[in-house]
Structure 1
Amino acid sequence: MSLVTKPGGRYRSVVDATEIIVVKAAKSPIDLRCGGHPVVAVGDEVPGDLTLDSSFATGTPLGKRFADPDSGLELLCTKAGEGSLSIGTTPLPLKDAKPLPSSD
């Protein structure tokens, strides 16, 4: 399922409590997943028969940013959960923090 993202878009996992918000949209439609299953927009109906895929169960911590340099996508986790974020089957890495300037 390809998803067209836009800044401010809010999505949630269908298998756990994870919720995310789009900080920077992807350049083209993507297959955004959490816990091994496609995410849905917050407020949309969630299928009840899905379970967390153990291959995508490292968790999504609250307040962390995730970014994919290839697609340009950047997400912020607004509610933590057990599932991990991915684009298709490729895990979505945490965004590196910007180094602070030295104070010599």
Structure 2
Amino acid sequence: MSTEAVGLRAGLRLKSQVCATEVIVIRPGTRPLSLCCGGVPMLGRDASGAAETTPVAERMRGSLLGKRYTHPGDDAVEVLVTVGGAGSLSDGETDLVLKEAKPLPASD
């Protein structure tokens, strides 16, 4: 399945074509991405997609509400899941990873 790389911008809201997942771009990164959910390209929140879009089964591992995801090869990319769903987030074939919280400094 081919996906088209798009230029992301901070504040851009996207929705999945195959599940309920919605995200907002926090940091767009340094290069264009093919942001997908469930193996299918994501759309602008107000856009309408194809009537019947089939997800890629191995890309349906879920996205967690309120969690931030980043690209393993470009930590300048950050998206926040505003509506969780069954599809997992990816840049084409590269899965986005859950961003870990920074540990707080110890107070002695």
What is the TM-score normalised by the length of structure 1?
A: 0.94
Report the Cα distance in structure 2 between the residues aligned to 1:39 and 1:2, rounded to whole angstroms: 11
Aligned counterpart in structure 1 of residue 20 of structure 2, from 17, 38, 43 = 17
Q: Are 2:106 and 1:102 aligned?
A: yes
Identity of aligned residues (%): 40
Q: How much has 1:69 moved relative to structure 2?
A: 5.0
Contact 2:72–2:96 under 8 Å retained in 1 = no
Contact 1:4 1:26 in 2 (8 A): no
Paired residue for 2:78, among 71, 74, 79?
A: 74
* SS, match of residue 55 in structure 1: helix
- Specify the code of the residue in structure 2 equivalent to 1:47: A
Show the counterpart of 1:64. 67
Displacement of 1:51 after TM fit? Answer: 1.9
CA shift digits 1:41-83 (9 cap, x unpaired): 1000121211221111110010000012533210000000000
- Secondary structure, counterpart of 2:25 in structure 1: strand
Q: CA RMSD in A?
A: 1.0
Deviation at 1:18, TM superposition (A): 0.2
Q: Which has the higher strand share?
A: 2
- The answer to which of 62-71 and 74-83 deviates more is 62-71
Aligned counterparts of 1:69 and 1:54: Cα–Cα separation in 2: 22
Structure 1 segments, 4+ long, off by >6 Å, are none
> 1:84 is matched by which residue type in structure 2?
S
Aligned length: 104
Q: How does 1:14-93 map to 2 (within 5 A)?
A: 14-71=17-74, 72-93=76-97
Q: Give 5+ residue unaligned stretches, structure 2.
A: none
What 5-or-longer segments of structure 1 have no aligned partner?
Answer: none
